[in-house]
A and B are shown apart, each in its own frame.
Chain A
Amino acid sequence: MNGRALLLLVAAAACDPPTIPGRDATDVYEFTLPSQPPAVLRWPSGARVRVWVEPSAVEARTALLEGAFRDGAAAWNALAVFAEYGLVHARELREADVVLMWSDVLPPVDTRDCRPSITQAVTTFCVDDFAGAAPRLRPFPLSSSETGNVKMLVTVLASAAADPQAVHRLVAHELGHVLGIGRHSPERDDLMYRTDPLVARPSARDAATVQLLYHLRPRIVP
């Protein structure tokens, strides 16, 4: 290599901005919806996803759910270094995209056409026109008959309230599904591990997965 080429190489390296290298396949896990065919679901780039925490009759349980949301949202938002998404607290139900609630609370939305299953915690949504050109999430009608925009329902089993730390882990995990991670990680260290999560914060693999997700073109946009 002659001196001029070396100089150009050094100059090129010196001109690079701080760069996060590209992930490889071992840095991420499968995240597409387990549909036929698998589909990428995510919010539009830069979206602020508004989450309403439905109050419980027991104030402490409402506070627990709100605290779990706050911590989980902060942990996921910290990974959106380029503002790909933002989980925020909805000030009122009418503006919410997502409802977070205990399983023994009367849902503020009509779930007759899109029923949540009963597990420790579950994120429920239904897709309209899945085979069509532009499948969308079906909004849940508000029980109050007001106009709303709720697309996802996150339900936490009421009995989980006995273990506040578990609630934090469960809510953080479900927020990963809210963002669009449609499957589970096989690794126990990941927040999106297939059974009850053992950690309350996204791991490096969770981070790489959600960052990859938010730079793919989605087939389904809520």
Chain B
Amino acid sequence: MDEVRSGFAERGFGRTGVASRIACVVLAFAPAAAAGQSVVWGVRAGVVASTPLAEDRVANPELAAALGGGLGPVRAVPAPAFHFEVGGAVPMRPRTVLELAVGWTMAGIDAKDDAGTRPLQDVGVGHATVSVHYLATRRVDGGCGIGLIRYFAESRALFASGTEISPLLECAGRAGVIGDSGRRLVLRIAGQMHRFRTPVLADAGARTGTVFRLAVQAGVELGGTRR
């Protein structure tokens, strides 16, 4: 994979600041895609695990003690789920590429408390990211980026009053090998962090919290200019 990317022509954005770089993403991809050979396209699939989306502490310690204890919190936890992502990368500098990716996860959310685990509802999670990756070695790269994420679900339980789009931070590392056909097989590990709150949680007095997602993916990449 890095054998491909290390062959990219230098195409920096200059020192125009983060905002203008983000604004240039689409403009950078369009001519590169038109040229065809400079863009690396990839599809990957894997599994995502997530920290809880919400927690209800139910009773404060004094009330729990007055009621004889046994009042543990309840959490809404997404089950590990199938994840699909497509992306494209264009060169910025000899060892740096700009990557744009969109992904989708279908997950079931479970409620977990002292009484056990029960299905809560199904969600689809869509995200889009823009990230900068540094080519550490010929086979390994890593980088971080920003993006947006949104949960899509039936209007009930946590999502009874809808959802909101949240900003997202992502860091990922990738290792790849080139197959006989020129396709690059990649293994990618990505960590995402985003703020989360729904109107239902807000009505219940919840403060906004943070959700972490860890994705392990395998995929294939095509295109780019080889040295």
Residues of A within 8 A of B (CB): 14-25, 28, 44-46, 77-78, 80-84, 207, 211-212, 215-217
- Chain B residues, Cβ within 8 Å of A46: 111, 115, 118
Query: Are B60 and A20 in contact (CB-based, < 8 A)?
Result: no
What size tier do the contact residues of chain B reach?
Answer: 35 or more
> How far does the Cβ of A147 sit from chain B's closest Cβ, in whole Å?
27
Give the docked Cα–Cα distance between A81 and B196 (Å).
15
- Chain A residues, Cβ within 8 Å of B72: 215
Main secondary structure of the interface of A (DSSP, over half): loop
Give the docked Cα–Cα distance between A45 and B59 (Å).
17
Query: Are A19 and B160 in contact (CB-based, < 8 A)?
Result: no
From A21, A28, A81, A211, give the contact of B200 (CB < 8 A). A81
Query: Are B204 and A81 in contact (CB-based, < 8 A)?
Result: yes
Query: Are A17 and B58 in contact (CB-based, < 8 A)?
Result: no
From B58, B160, B206, B208, give the contact of A212 (CB < 8 A). B58
Give the docked Cα–Cα distance between A211 and B111 (Å).
14
Query: Are B67 and A81 in contact (CB-based, < 8 A)?
Result: no
Interface: B201 (CB within 8 A): yes
Query: Are A215 and B74 in contact (CB-based, < 8 A)?
Result: yes
Query: Are B196 and A18 in contact (CB-based, < 8 A)?
Result: yes
Nearest 8 pairs between A and B by C-beta? A18-B209, A46-B118, A22-B60, A45-B115, A22-B57, A82-B111, A20-B56, A17-B52
Given the known A-B contacts A81-B157, A215-B113, are A17 and B59 also in contact in the complex, defined by CB atoms under 8 Å? no
Interface: B63 (CB within 8 A): yes
Interface: B30 (CB within 8 A): no
Closest to B67 in A: A216
Query: Are B63 and A17 in contact (CB-based, < 8 A)?
Result: no
Residues of B within 8 A of A (CB): 51-64, 66-67, 70-72, 74-76, 111, 113-116, 118-121, 156-158, 160, 196-198, 200-201, 204-212
Give the docked Cα–Cα distance between A81 and B203 (Å).
11
Give the docked Cα–Cα distance between A24 and B74 (Å).
16
> How far does the Cβ of A80 sit from chain B's closest Cβ, in whole Å?
7
Query: Are B201 and A18 in contact (CB-based, < 8 A)?
Result: yes
Give the docked Cα–Cα distance between A17 and B197 (Å).
9
- List 16 additional contacts besides A20-B57, A25-B62, A216-B70; criterion CB under 8 Å: A15-B212, A18-B201, A19-B55, A20-B205, A22-B57, A22-B64, A46-B115, A77-B156, A81-B54, A81-B56, A81-B158, A81-B160, A81-B200, A82-B113, A83-B119, A207-B204
Query: Are B58 and A22 in contact (CB-based, < 8 A)?
Result: yes
Give the docked Cα–Cα distance between A24 and B64 (Å).
9
Given the known A-B contacts A81-B157, A82-B76, are A18 and B54 also in contact in the complex, defined by CB atoms under 8 Å? yes
Give the docked Cα–Cα distance between A122 and B121 (Å).
33
> How far does the Cβ of A44 sit from chain B's closest Cβ, in whole Å?
8
